[in-house]
Structure formats: structure tokens, C-alpha cells
Amino acid sequence: MSLVQAPAVGISSLPLLSLLERGPQEYHQALELQRLIHGEVANGLRPSTLLLMEHQPVFTAGKRTELTDRPFSSTPVVDVDRGGKITWHGPGQLVGYPILRLRNPQELVGYVREIEQGIIDLLADFGVRGGRVDGRSGVWIEGERKIAAIGIRVAQGVTMHGFAINANCSLSPFEEIVPCGIRDATVTSISKELSRDVSVMDLLPLIEAKVVPILEGLT
């Protein structure tokens, strides 16, 4: 079965297309799937959809990435058309791509804040207190450890790219870069904060309970 044929799951009105059970996905193939779904949503052929997956190890470089930001690494670096700088994706990190026809596509800051709130609510169910930092996107622990990153693009009124939540991923790849261009902070994971293993599959029910309802309200 191809990626695009994976069944949508969930009880909400927002289809949730999860590839988590298939293991980490190669980034270029997943990006093509994201673009395909984006085109279908933009042309009215598919409802807004949340795509979930893990990636094989990869660095993705947003539009503001500078040459000096790039790592000296054997891990692939892929240039992408989202905002922001460079970050890492890989096993143990839940990546969500909300491909949504927004009611108000000009309200991008509000869109990011809503995603942040959904992730903050998700973390709270694990007993992890997440929050925001003024002037910086994503979700933070005590204002200094980033636990979830967000980078988006809107084309034809439909969103692409999305969020990445560190569940039990290795944090060492982040040492090869300045994550999201922020030099005075570190990166953490749910597992590190709790000193116990929390997998991406452990997050799935809370994505449906905490994040999906917020996304539904934006479409």
C-alpha cells in the first residue's frame, strides 16, 4: 500500500493520516506526499488533513538558513520552503503536518499560537509544564529548553509543514547545529524531562484529544 493510500483514522471531523506504525519515513518521499495532499486540499478534492509520522534522520533548512548554519555531517540536509532556520528530524520525534484550509489564512501568528497551545495541553497530560517564549515559536520548558518546534508555510490559503515534538529521540544531532537559529537555549524531550521512556505512539491519543480539536476550529 502506498503512503497516500494509508487509512485516515480518528473520530473527529478532521481526517488524521498516521504513518507512525510504518516506522521512520524518508523525508523526500514524505514531502511529496505532503505536497500531493496540499494540492488536493487547495483544489477542493480532499478535506483538511493532519498527517503524522516519524522521519529517517534528516536536517531541514528553512528559508532563513545561512551557510554557516549547516552542519558538517553525513546526515542529509534538505532545503525546504517553510519559515525559520535549520532543525533536525528523526526517530523518536513525532512530526505533524496539518494541511488545513484556514478560515483566516492571514492570521499566521494566531495559527502558530494555537498549535503551541495544543502541544502545551498535550504535555500537561504527561505532567510536563510547557510554555511559550516571547519572540520565539515552539514550546519550551522553563523558557530555556525547546521541546517542540514549529515551522509553517501557507500557499493558496492552505498550510504546509507543521510541528515536531521530541518524544524519545536522540538529542545529539541537535549539537551539530544551532536549532532554529537560537544560540542561547538547548533542546530537550519528553523522555528526558520525565526520566522515563515516552514513545511517539504514546503521544498519538493525545494528539487526537488535544491538538486535533484546536486544528478543527481553524478550518
Q: Is the dihedral of CA 123, 125, 128, 132 positive or negative?
A: positive
| Residue 20 grid cell | 507512525
> Of 50, 177, 180, 200, which residue is the catalytic one?
180
Q: How far, rounded to the nearest angstrom, does the alpha carbon of residue 106 sit from its chain's CA centroid?
A: 20
Measured CA to CA, the distance from residue 217 to residue 215 in angstroms comes to 5
CA angle 36, 42, 43 (to 5 degrees): 90
Q: Which residue has the cell 498516521?
A: 18
SS3 for 176? helix
Helix (H) or strand (E) holding 40: helix 27-42
Pairing of the two strands 93-99 and 130-133: unpaired
Annotation marks residue 180 as catalytic: yes
Residues recognised as catalytic:
180
